[in-house]
Homo-oligomer: A and B are copies of this chain.
């Protein structure tokens, strides 16, 4: 139930078309809530039908059939209410941890390669987050409220990737075979 709220947030930051949203999801909100373009188009249709967003007909800049959406007051109210709505954290669901557990039963043959591969991926993600932090939040103690929240979210990403790289390094050195 979070995709519509992710879209509302993105549209409030800047009115956009479906494809623009898809691209912006790839680099900002998508870091912690990814979505394909089909998901986004479908959801835009639902949100429009529900009266939470509408298309901006006048603002079409030459591109073919492009449709730009903006958030209506009802949509903003819904998002605002959702921010405070109780919702339990999702239980952890990680295939790699499951694989270690399986390896404890059938043997860890070939697992070390996968661990190394994941380690490299997480190291890259961590580096990317750190670049964003250096670029967008050079002076964390002087942020206004909204930017402090954004920085907090980024910190979560950084700390999570830090955990993974550390844990995977440990795992690699202690995996049999």
Spell out A's residues near B (CB within 8 Å).
Answer: 2, 5-6, 8-9, 12-13, 29-34, 76, 79-80, 82-111, 113-114, 117-118, 121-122, 145-150, 152-153, 155-157, 159-160, 163-164, 166-167, 170-171, 174-176
For A95, the closest partner residue in chain B by CB is: B2
A104, A164, A171, A175 interface centre (most CB from chain B within 10 Å): A104
For A171, the closest partner residue in chain B by CB is: B152
Other than A5-B98, A8-B102, A152-B174, give 10 A-B pairs with Cβ distance below 8 A. Answer: A5-B99, A6-B98, A32-B92, A33-B98, A34-B91, A83-B99, A84-B113, A87-B95, A89-B95, A104-B147
Identify which of B34, B86, B150 contacts A104 (C-beta below 8 A): B150
Q: Determine whether the beta carbon of A149 is less than 8 Å from that of B29.
A: no
Cα distance, A105 to B174, chains bound together (Å): 45
Q: Determine whether the beta carbon of A149 is less than 8 Å from that of B175.
A: yes
Q: Determine whether the beta carbon of A34 is less than 8 Å from that of B113.
A: no
Cα distance, A164 to B102, chains bound together (Å): 26
Cα distance, A150 to B147, chains bound together (Å): 40
Residues of B within 8 A of A29 (CB): 98, 101
Residues of B within 8 A of A5 (CB): 98-99, 102
Q: Nearest Cβ distance between residue A113 and chain B, in whole angstroms?
A: 7
Cα distance, A142 to B118, chains bound together (Å): 27
A99, A100, A146, A171 interface centre (most CB from chain B within 10 Å): A99
